[in-house]
Amino acid sequence: MTPTKGYAAQGATTPLAPYTFERRDLRPHDVQLDILYCGVCHSDLHTARNEWHGTAYPCVPGHEIVGRVTKVGDHVTKFKVGDLAGIGCLVDSCQECHNCKQGLEQYCEEVATQTYNSPDRVDKSVTLGGYSNLIIAKDDFVLKVSEKLPLEGVAPLLCAGITTYSPMRHWKVGKGHKVGVLGLGGLGHMAVKLAVSFGAEVTMLSTSPSKEADAKRLGAHRFALTKDPEQLKGLGNYFDFIIDTVSAEHDYNMYLGMLNTNGVMICVGAPPTPAQVPAFNLIFQRRSIAGSLIGGLPETQEMLDYCAEHNIVSDVEVIAMKDVNESYERMLKGDVRYRFVIDMATL
Ligand code: NAP
Ligand code: ZN
């Protein structure tokens, strides 16, 4: 066992605080990383505060992990000590079901093992995430990271990047499509960058007037403040796709009305409260409402390689570990530009 330092929530209403624990001895297919950077995802907050229910405490969040390999198990050939590597939201799955066989491990029929708050498939202990100095995962779930890009900007690709890349690839978003991105936070800003890089016309739909200049800098072709009816004029039946990244309760119907015939609203944001959608808002214009969960391992590697080739990283505010609770409060206010990333050297 290896003593490990991290930050954990001990309950739904307690702030994250220093926590020491032990990581397992390496299994033959395990890779151990010293964590350099870990992004702060809104899912970390939902889980730490038990907003989705089912959180096991102590909870060490963090699933946007970039680090350097410090040890490998006897059967590992893909990595060697010193390599850069990444770990996203998954650390294991059955690897045998129909979905796993297709590289859709996120939809594993036996339920994939998440990087935190999931039972380990071997010893049943609860997984603990990337707000820590080191982590161990099975080699098939560890990604290759290019030396080319700034690592603090790469970390958020492991969740915010793949979560927006995967549905856009699935629905073949590209040239000729009008895409609305709802919510300019961690996922939203990656959706803008990626949709623009795929050739789509992108409109940022935001509640924050202060983000207009940034949205344009990120590549959005237009910006609409969703609280101002004047700015929504002309957006009825407009979009082919809306990527909804909103983390809190909101009215889906207002945005469904912005979809053109056959338009798809892709929900990646996961508010704890259910949506209310009258069938009429889908029947007219044959609209769909869909969801998408992160991405599988092959597609996550493809996305990392694509971002390295196209020079795409997350816009980050690097923080010290001790400031993680404050970053949660700022995230709740929409005050994130556009991902907090913890510098693990500060732990
Ligand atoms: P984030 O950085 O906090 O961004 C969310 C953005 O939503 C905010 O910046 C804000 O943008 C907007 N927003 C917040 N409250 C709102 C409200 N009441 N009404 C309208 N807009 C609001 O969060 P994130 O890390 O991007 O995560 C977003 C959501 O995706 C979370 O629920 C997270 O759990 C979920 N998620 C899902 C997956 C998946 O696999 N599907 C993966 C990762 C995360 P504006 O200021 O521009 O309005
Ligand atoms: Zn995430």
Identify which ligand lies nearest to the alpha carbon of 294: 1
* Same domain (yes/no): 218, 153: no
Q: What is the mean pLDDT of each run of 10 residues along the chain (347 residues)?
A: 98 98 98 98 98 98 98 98 98 98 98 98 98 98 96 98 99 98 98 98 98 98 97 97 98 97 98 95 97 98 98 98 98 96 98
Q: Which amino acid is at 82?
A: G
* Same domain (yes/no): 152, 189: no
Report which of 60, 56, 125 is spatially closest to residue 92, judged by C-alpha positions. 125
* Contact between residue 95 and residue 74 where contact means Cβ atoms under 8 Å apart: no
Ligand 1 atom closest to 267 (CA): 41
CA 196 to chain centre: 18
* Same domain (yes/no): 12, 68: yes
CATH number of the domain that residue 165 is part of = 3.40.50.720
Range of the domain at 278: 161-291
* Contact between residue 40 and residue 328 where contact means Cβ atoms under 8 Å apart: yes
Does any ligand 1 atom lie closer than 6 A to the CB of residue 270?
yes
Return the pLDDT at 75: 98
In order of 31, 84, 153, 175, 183, the CA distances from 268 in angstroms are: 30, 28, 21, 22, 11
Does any ligand 1 atom lie closer than 6 A to the CB of residue 185?
yes
Q: Which amino acid is at 90?
A: L
* Same domain (yes/no): 150, 168: no
Q: To test the ligand 1 pocket, which listed residue (38, 42, 46, 317) has its Cβ within 8 A of the most ligand atoms?
A: 42
**Ligand 1: centre distance to CA 341 (Å):** 16
Report which of 108, 121, 68, 62 is spatially closest to residue 89, judged by C-alpha positions. 62
Residues 96-144: tens digit of each pLDDT: 999 999 999 999 999 999 999 999 999 999 999 999 999 999 999 999 9
Identify which ligand lies nearest to the alpha carbon of 185: 1
Per-residue buried b or exposed e for 104-119, using 16+ beta carbons within 10 Å of the residue's own CB: bbbbbeeebbbbbbbe
CATH number of the domain that residue 19 is part of = 3.90.180.10
Q: Taking the complete model, does pTM exceed 0.75, yes or no?
A: yes
Does any ligand 1 atom lie closer than 6 A to the CB of residue 211?
yes
* Same domain (yes/no): 107, 65: yes
Return the pLDDT at 266: 98
CA-nearest residue, atom 1 of ligand 1: 185
Return the pLDDT at 99: 98
| Structural domains in the chain (count) | 2
CA-nearest residue, atom 16 of ligand 1: 248
Return the pLDDT at 186: 98
* Same domain (yes/no): 138, 10: yes
* Contact between residue 52 and residue 5 where contact means Cβ atoms under 8 Å apart: no
Is 308 part of any domain?
no
**Ligand 1: centre distance to CA 66 (Å):** 22
**How many whole angstroms separate alpha carbon 149 and alpha carbon 172?**
26
Does any ligand 1 atom lie closer than 6 A to the CB of residue 163?
yes
Is 167 part of any domain?
yes
Q: To test the ligand 1 pocket, which listed residue (166, 218, 247) has its Cβ within 8 A of the most ligand atoms?
A: 247
Q: Which amino acid is at 143?
A: L
Ligand 1 atom closest to 291 (CA): 41
Q: What is the 3-state secondary structure (H, E, C) of 269-307?
A: CCCCCCCCCCCHHHHHHHCEEEECCCCCHHHHHHHHHHH
* Same domain (yes/no): 225, 271: yes
